[in-house]
Homo-oligomer: A and B are copies of this chain.
Amino acid sequence: MVATSEDVARRAGVSRGAVSQILNGRGARFSAGTRERVQLAAAELDYRPSVAGRALARGSSDIVIALIPDTTFGGNLQDLFESMTDEFAGHGLTLLLRLSGTSTTSLDHLLTGIKPRAVLSLTGFSDEERAVLEERGIRGLESPAPTGGSPIHDIAKVQARHLIDRGHRRLAFAHLRDERQEFYGRAREEAFAAVCLAEGLPAPEVLSLDLGLPDAVEALRMLPARGFGVACYNDEVAIALLAAAREIDWAVPDDLAIIGMDHLLLGQLTSPPLTTIEYDQTTVAEGAGRWALAVLEQPSEVSAEAPPLQLRIIQGGTT
């Protein structure tokens, strides 16, 4: 049905071993003519080595599995993974996605079974995941943290600084009440609180809401007074709070200042449009992809350099 290396060998008039060597870069020992004949035959037959056979012989496949965190996927992120898929394909690697919400043992099964060349995560691994990878001897690739701390901390810092710069002294952090965001949300909250502390401000209030009007209103009522500046987990939370403020007739940004995160298109359609933070996901992804490829092909040089996360404040009308 599909051409095997045996077919290629026959067509090129050589042995299977020769085909294998030539097509895998170890062909220096063969004459130019033979190399050419093999290359040609492979091309003509559209030969594509079997992942299974190769994995069996070599111990690991050419598959790279990207763990998709339980944070909101879609939109830019999707574009990003798409371009990464193409980029990897160009290097003979197959990028597949795995939703990582499932248990760690499930991940373990995946690894022992598929023997991927590497596992990739743009948001870093949990300790559990790291342990499993280590145990199975599988390469874990995570976008190295830009100097100066993780992206998560950077985001929290930028949000806090912006609110403080705009004159707010009483700050709050608004979580998305979704257990899947637990991990990142908590980190963001802590980093945010740290900035408040460093600036000599009182500890921030902490809100938590679902994306519904009643819930958002309820959250606002938890604030001790008007005049707070709220850093939101993302633009969706920000939109919800904005709607809630309108509902209870709080003026934005006077009674409530809001800064989001993500620069969602929908966030610019509110009135006033959201103040938010943009970062170029495409750049991040391309960087991560390129970096991953480099690491995979030059296992020695683990160049831990990655372009720093560029966070840009989009000044809207909510701060």
Contact of A112 among B2, B75, B236 (CB under 8 A): B2
161-219 of chain A: CB within 8 A of chain B: 210-213, 216
Q: Does A104 contact B (CB under 8 A)?
A: no
Contact with B along A251-271 (1 / 0, CB 8 A): 000000000000001101111
Q: Is A1 an interface residue (CB 8 A)?
A: yes
Judge whether A147 is part of the interface by a CB distance below 8 angstroms: no
Complex interface: stretch among A13-21, A32-40, A52-60:
A52-60
Q: Is B211's CB under 8 angstroms from A266's CB?
A: yes
Whether A115 sits at the interface, judged by CB under 8 Å, is yes
Query: Is the beta-carbon distance between A265 and B236 smaller than 8 angstroms?
Result: yes
Is A212 a contact of B96 with CB atoms below 8 Å?
no
Known: A51-B113, A51-B114, A102-B89. A75 touches B74 (CB 8 A): yes
Interface size on A, residues (CB 8 A): 58
Which among B53, B81, B266 is the interface contact of A239 at CB below 8 angstroms?
B266
Confirm or deny: A94 has a beta carbon within 8 angstroms of a beta carbon on chain B.
Answer: yes
Instruction: Give 17 CB contacts A-B under 8 Å.
Output: A2-B112, A50-B112, A50-B113, A53-B56, A63-B114, A68-B78, A70-B78, A70-B82, A72-B74, A73-B73, A81-B99, A94-B110, A96-B97, A239-B269, A240-B269, A243-B270, A246-B271
17 additional A-B pairs beyond A72-B75, A86-B106, beta carbons within 8 Å, are: A1-B137, A50-B113, A50-B115, A51-B52, A51-B114, A52-B114, A63-B114, A73-B78, A74-B74, A74-B75, A78-B99, A89-B102, A211-B269, A213-B269, A236-B265, A243-B270, A243-B271
Interface residues of A (CB under 8 A from B): 1-2, 48-53, 55-56, 61-63, 65, 68, 70, 72-75, 78, 81-82, 85-86, 89, 94, 96-99, 101-102, 106, 109-110, 112-115, 136-137, 210-213, 216, 236, 239-240, 243, 246, 265-266, 268-271
